[in-house]
Structure 1
Amino acid sequence: MTIRQFLLWTRHDSAGRRAEAAAALARAYLYAGLAGEGRREARTALMALLDDPSPVVRRALAEACANAAEAPRPLVVALAQDQPDIAALVLARSPVLTDPDLVDCAAIGEEAARLAIADRPYLSPMLCGALAEIAGPAALARLAANPGAEITRGSLLRLVDRHGDDGSLREALLARADLPLDVRQAVTARLAASLSDFVVGCGWLSPERGARVAREASERTTLGLAEGAERGDLRRLVEHLRRNGQLTAGLILRALLTRRIAFTEAAFSDLTGLTPERTAGLLHDPHGGFPALYRRAGLPGTLQPAFAAALSAWREESRGLSALGGPALSRRMIERALTACETMPFAESHALVALLNRFESEATRDEARGLARSLAGETAVAAALEALPALPGPRSVPLAA
């Protein structure tokens, strides 16, 4: 069939027949090995079909050209700016479209265009950054779930900053194996805030209590994420917490009381500007290096006695004077900190004592939970042993005559 016959076919009164002709013409251009004048005529005819009043025809063109690297670039660019269901076909797949093309379509198009772009097999860091700034939560959730998306750490944080309240986005982010530690912490902090808003909105907690519960839950999760982290990841996490106002004295004290010394060292290093090695030396120094470090960190002076007492108890543990526990609140360290607060004026100590009392209550409950789990395990083992069938006794073997 000649190109002129194709053109006659595309002028049929039926939109369906015109769509068939458009698809056939596109396939001929792409795969029939046309050359010279015939190829130029086919290209011109395809461009003319963009003016067809029926979206069925333009959709047929988009479907035929979506995956083709040899599709005419002007045709694909025009289809990418068509109505959403047509544009999505080429936006999601076409290798002809460049990053500037896609960024432009994302900026001026509907959310359907951004959803399609987020599904592309590969997205460059630049394109991911553009989507992070303009896309809605649904498109960003698809972007986060796309293994071919090269999303930088800054863009990931921007996703959380803009739409971290969306549950689908949080789920997609947390499922990424390459999610940086500070981004994971930001996601969990937004989750804690969302849960707090929910329970406060239901009237189950007062706003003040809800904020405290969310903060303490976020602190526990943050320290759990930091457990075993490499020094570089830990430094970036602490820096992220400080920039967002979450590197509080309460968080650092909790880290110390749970024996997370690596996090404590990273926090003081960030706040003082000293090297990690120098900071660690001052924290481990039993001869008076800590007060200067604490003052340089700019933490509240009223908390210094509690820090110093807890640190002294930890040093004793680390020297083997008592059993060194795991990453859980140490009741012994808390009691030592409470004792250090006894001589302080009430106006200075009441908030700190209340915080330490909450830590002590939490530590006691954690111990009770651990004991309950241990007893439950022993009970299950005993029940399983009792359920075993009785073993036969030893058989008597007659002696040989």
Structure 2
Amino acid sequence: MVAYQDFVALSRSGDSEERGQAAHLAAQAYLLHSGPADEHAALYASLIGFLDDPSVRVRGALAYGLLHALEAPRPILLALLQDSEVIARAVAQYSPALIDADLIALVRKASITLLHAVALRERISARVAEAVIGRGVRSVTLKVLQRSDVPVPAALLATLAAERGEADAELRGALLDRADLPAGARLAMVEAAVASLRLARIVKGAVAPSRLERLLRDAMDTALTVIGEGEATSGGTPFASELVATERVSARVMLHAVVNGHVVFFADCLSALAGVPRDKVFTILETGGRPALNALLSRCGLSAAVSNLIARLIFHARAADLADDITARHFVVTALTEELIVEHDGVIPPELEDAFAYLSEQNVALARRAARGVMSAFAGDANAERPMPAIELDQRLALPAA
């Protein structure tokens, strides 16, 4: 407890440290006050008086006393926001009493230091985030985007992706890490990442050109169908309709969707292409016969040969868990590939060449992945200590010296 006379003495002291103690005491007394209103008004007047103290130490002590209080008087906080940068930065970052209107007004004319302080606040609304990003300071924009707890308007995320994501890898990564990035913008960012990988010297030097192209194309197909499956499952934006409108849905994409178990996205694509309700498409995919499937696929604008191929794949997929079972995927793709070879006596028709090439690529990739699983299971077998057969001397290979 500090007597009133002692407080007055501290307030009028020539020592800035003592005046700072008085400012801090006044702030605490104001926040904890529960007495008469005239006493509260007197404490408020004393706080205003400390705003005019020539010492930064005193004004800083006042700010520190009010810094984390929701009940701190906004006029005094607004005055402290116009004070020296060290004081304004602390108030901008920590004070919960500031409302969005205060922060937006500050952000419009704030220095980079204050922008960083606002970006580090415990809670930031979508309006404040939009104002901060709108200043166009890259480091601050990255700080806001890297915070998953900060809501950012979808339109702003799409604009950032379109205008700056392609050329800025770090910004692109921050956008891709956000779960609220719109599907179209996410696909564009993946395309930009794939393009950067294709041009990277370390990648080009490590992987043969033809294999690199296959890997990147498969990665792009997977990204497209995964994004589409997520949007279709969550009932978000009509992503499949957007892809159909921009002619991004090909037979290869549809094959990739089925092979990888992304059936909801596949159904959305068929619905958008054929102009048929998705529920009806699901019914045909789950229980429809060959005539119904062919009619649906034909209505999508697919040729008879491609329609027949996709219909066969659908029938295989009905009996297998393609979403999670790599071995099942490999089996289905292998069976479909062998059926095509047998049916056409090894001479694949031109209209099926692209689809057959895709199935062949997937066959190799899935075989490798399935084999890794088999070897892992074999290595972990309880009987893994079984002896390997001995090699007779005359069966050994004689290898030339390197």
TM-score, with normalisation over the residues of structure 2?
0.69
Cα deviations across residues 159-188 of structure 1 (Å, max 9, x unaligned)? 6556655658846974x7xx35x6588558
Q: Which amino acid aligns with 1:24?
A: L
Whether the 8 Å contact between 2:30 and 2:40 is mirrored in structure 1 is yes
Q: CA deviation at 1:342?
A: 4.3
SS at match of 2:97: coil
Q: CA deviation at 1:102?
A: 1.5
SS at match of 1:248: coil
Matches within 5 A, 1:56-71: 56-71=57-72
Q: What is the match of residue 88 of structure 1?
A: 89
Q: CA deviation at 1:358?
A: 4.4
Q: Is 1:365 the counterpart of 2:365 in the alignment? A: yes
Q: Is 1:324 the counterpart of 2:320 in the alignment? A: yes
Q: What is the match of residue 392 of structure 2?
A: none
SS at match of 2:237: helix
Q: Is 1:290 the counterpart of 2:296 in the alignment? A: yes
Q: Which amino acid aligns with 1:310?
A: L
Worse-matched range after superposition: 42-51 or 55-64: 42-51
Whether the 8 Å contact between 2:340 and 2:348 is mirrored in structure 1 is no
RMSD (Å), alpha carbons: 4.4
Cα deviations across residues 209-241 of structure 1 (Å, max 9, x unaligned)? 8787545313313434666x5855255372596
SS at match of 2:290: coil
Question: Out of 229, 252, 255, which is 2:254 matched to?
Answer: 252
Whether the 8 Å contact between 2:228 and 2:239 is mirrored in structure 1 is no
Q: CA deviation at 1:243?
A: 9.4
Matches within 5 A, 1:80-159: 80-131=81-132, 133-134=134-135, 136=137, 138-139=139-140, 142-143=143-144, 149-150=150-151
Matches within 5 A, 1:195-214: 196-198=195-197, 200-202=199-201, 204-205=203-204, 214=216
Q: What is the match of residue 24 of structure 1?
A: 25
1:172–1:308: structure 2 CA closer, same or farther, 3 Å change rule? Answer: closer
Q: Which amino acid aligns with 2:94?
A: R
Q: What is the match of residue 264 of structure 1?
A: 266
1:194–1:62: structure 2 CA closer, same or farther, 3 Å change rule? Answer: farther
Distance in 2, Cα, partners of 1:317 & 1:368: 21
Distance in 2, Cα, partners of 1:184 & 1:383: 48
Q: CA deviation at 1:97?
A: 1.1
Q: What is the match of residue 73 of structure 1?
A: 74
Worse-matched range after superposition: 158-167 or 54-63: 158-167
Identity %, equivalent residues: 20
Worse-matched range after superposition: 190-199 or 367-376: 190-199
Question: Out of 9, 12, 25, which is 1:8 matched to?
Answer: 12
Distance in 2, Cα, partners of 1:366 & 1:134: 48
Cα deviations across residues 45-83 of structure 1 (Å, max 9, x unaligned)? 433443445443333222211112332211112223444
1:373–1:237: structure 2 CA closer, same or farther, 3 Å change rule? Answer: farther
Q: CA deviation at 1:307?
A: 3.6
SS at match of 2:300: helix
Q: What is the match of residue 192 of structure 2?
A: 193
Q: Which amino acid aligns with 1:216?
A: D
Matches within 5 A, 1:342-357: 342-344=348-350, 353-354=353-354, 356-357=356-357
1:95–1:316: structure 2 CA closer, same or farther, 3 Å change rule? Answer: closer
Q: CA deviation at 1:242?
A: 3.0
Q: Is 1:314 the counterpart of 2:313 in the alignment? A: yes
Cα deviations across residues 14-53 of structure 1 (Å, max 9, x unaligned)? 5544433332332233235575555444433433443445
Equivalent residue pairs, number: 362
Q: Is 1:374 the counterpart of 2:374 in the alignment? A: yes
Distance in 1, Cα, partners of 2:261 & 2:304: 17
1:6–1:157: structure 2 CA closer, same or farther, 3 Å change rule? Answer: farther
Whether the 8 Å contact between 1:265 and 1:276 is mirrored in structure 2 is yes
Cα deviations across residues 180-211 of structure 1 (Å, max 9, x unaligned)? 5x6588558636633641561426439x9878
Matches within 5 A, 1:377-392: 377-381=377-381, 384-385=384-385
Worse-matched range after superposition: 67-76 or 354-363: 354-363
SS at match of 1:205: helix
